[in-house]
Structure 1
Amino acid sequence: MTILLRRLRSDRGAASTQLVLVFPALLLIALLVVQFALVWHARHVAQHAAQRGLAAARVQDGTAAGGQAQARRSLAALGSRVLTAPSVTAERATAKTTVRVQGTVTRVLPVPGLELHASGTASGPTERITTPTGGQP
């Protein structure tokens, strides 16, 4: 009877049991870190594309369509896999131009309902020729 009690109180196999219980949690934490790193990267890609689109749209002879096209080219070059289903909007007025880039971030974890979004917005004054007094020529 004492031999049986000694075997039941033994720590043999405890490391394997702990590994089986702890390893999935550590793997989940690592994948969450990768997922949020992708969100961070996607936000930077969206912001860069918006800034490139703004640079093309705000020039004197630029158009909102030209800004959208430039932002889409930047997305294709940088973030076609990180930022899925991107949408680009550009608004050009006489005083201010704004470009917005939005999209869904690629998922690492196959969790239902986990849909992370990233966006970037850039706005600035529209370039135009003025006289030294501030009026139109």
Structure 2
Amino acid sequence: MIALPRRLCIDRGAASTQLVIVVPALLLIALLVVQFALVWHARHIAQYAAQQALAAARTQDGTAADGQAQAQRSLAALGSRVLTAPSVTAERTADRTTVRVEGTVIRVLPVPGLVLHASAAASGPTEKITTPTGDQP
């Protein structure tokens, strides 16, 4: 058996060096997972608000303002911290009603320039009362 000099066999500090390299990388990956989970959640919040607003705006006596008010109520109840600076636009015509909800997702990573957005749209026919023959009363 060949005896190596004692200086070549010592690995003192190797675990600390590996820890210093690996732990920040793992923390960054974990924060990225959390950030994109928040984006996914914010999109669902925006979709829910858009659907609720569409349901309010497309009724026979509903207006685009009713839809916007309903979307604001839904956003306040669900996503005031996740979906920041939300904007709601509602359009209502005689045939179609469309609602769009957009906002900025809260940031977990303090990366300059990282601005993530979430948006959703809901659209459907405007309700109108008709007779069985298809004529309006």
Secondary structure in 2 matching 1:123:
strand
- TM-score, normalised by the number of residues in structure 1: 0.94
Give percent identity, aligned residues only.
81
Counterpart of 2:102? Answer: 102
Counterpart of 1:66? Answer: 66
- TM-score, normalised by the number of residues in structure 2: 0.94
Give CA-to-partner distance per residue, 1:7-62, whole Å, 9 cap, x none: 34422221111001111000000000000000000000000000000010011000
Aligned counterparts of 2:110 and 2:9: Cα–Cα separation in 1: 40
Aligned counterparts of 1:81 and 1:7: Cα–Cα separation in 2: 57
Unaligned 5+ runs, structure 2: none
* 110-119 or 126-135: bigger deviation: 126-135
Counterpart of 1:38? Answer: 38
Unaligned 5+ runs, structure 1: none
* Superposition deviation, residue 131 in structure 1: 1.8
Aligned residues: CA RMSD: 1.4
Please tell me the residue identity of whatever aligns with 2:54.
Answer: L
Pairing of 1:1-137 with structure 2 (within 5 A): 6-137=6-137
Q: Which runs of 4+ in 1 moved over 3 A?
A: none
Please tell me the residue identity of whatever aligns with 2:111.
Answer: V
Aligned counterparts of 2:104 and 2:52: Cα–Cα separation in 1: 20
